């Protein structure tokens, strides 16, 4: 799935950050949970692996499950998520369906609006 086969003989400790992310994600998906909590799942992943993870997350949601994940990449959140929540200084400042939170703007515009509005 993540093209780790050629590196299976190496210890995980010798993997790069992105490669370590792959067995961690495999561990998370392999037992087919209905609900997943992922912290920055795309950090360090190459574009191909990142695409695989996005597809898997979408598939999980289409099957009736849920994936709750954090990210700093707003474009990813905007394209991938059904619902979004924005946290600022530890406080929830906006949340709801993506369409409702963003309206006609982009998620990035909403984020900076909230960021500047709070100053």
> Closest separation between CB of residue 92 and another protein, Å?
26
- Tell me: does residue 6 bind another protein (CB under 8 A): yes
Can you tell me which of 31, 72, 91, 119 binds another protein, judged by CB under 8 A? 31
CB 28 within 8 A of CB 36: yes
The 3-class secondary structure across 22-38, one letter per residue, is: HHHHHHHHHCCCCEEEE
Pick the closest to residue 34 from 67, 82, 69, 58 (CA basis): 67
User: Residue 99: what are its φ and ψ, rounded to 5°?
Assistant: -60, -40
* Count of residues near another protein by CB under 8 A: 14
> Closest separation between CB of residue 104 and another protein, Å?
40
- Tell me: does residue 43 bind another protein (CB under 8 A): no
Interface residues with another protein (CB under 8 A) are 5-10, 12-13, 23-24, 27-28, 30-31
């Amino acid at each position: 799935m993540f093209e780790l086969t050629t590196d299976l003989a190496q210890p995980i400790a010798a993997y790069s950050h992105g490669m370590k992310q792959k067995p961690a994600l495999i561990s998370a998906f392999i037992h087919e949970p209905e609900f997943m909590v992922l912290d920055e799942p795309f950090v360090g992943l190459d574009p191909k692996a990142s695409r695989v993870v996005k597809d898997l997350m979408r598939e999980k949601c289409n099957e009736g499950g849920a994936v709750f994940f954090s990210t700093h990449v707003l474009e990813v959140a905007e394209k991938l998520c059904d619902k979004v929540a924005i946290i600022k200084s530890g406080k929830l400042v906006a949340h709801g369906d993506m369409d409702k939170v963003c309206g006609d703007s982009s998620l990035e515009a909403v984020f900076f609006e909230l960021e500047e509005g709070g100053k």
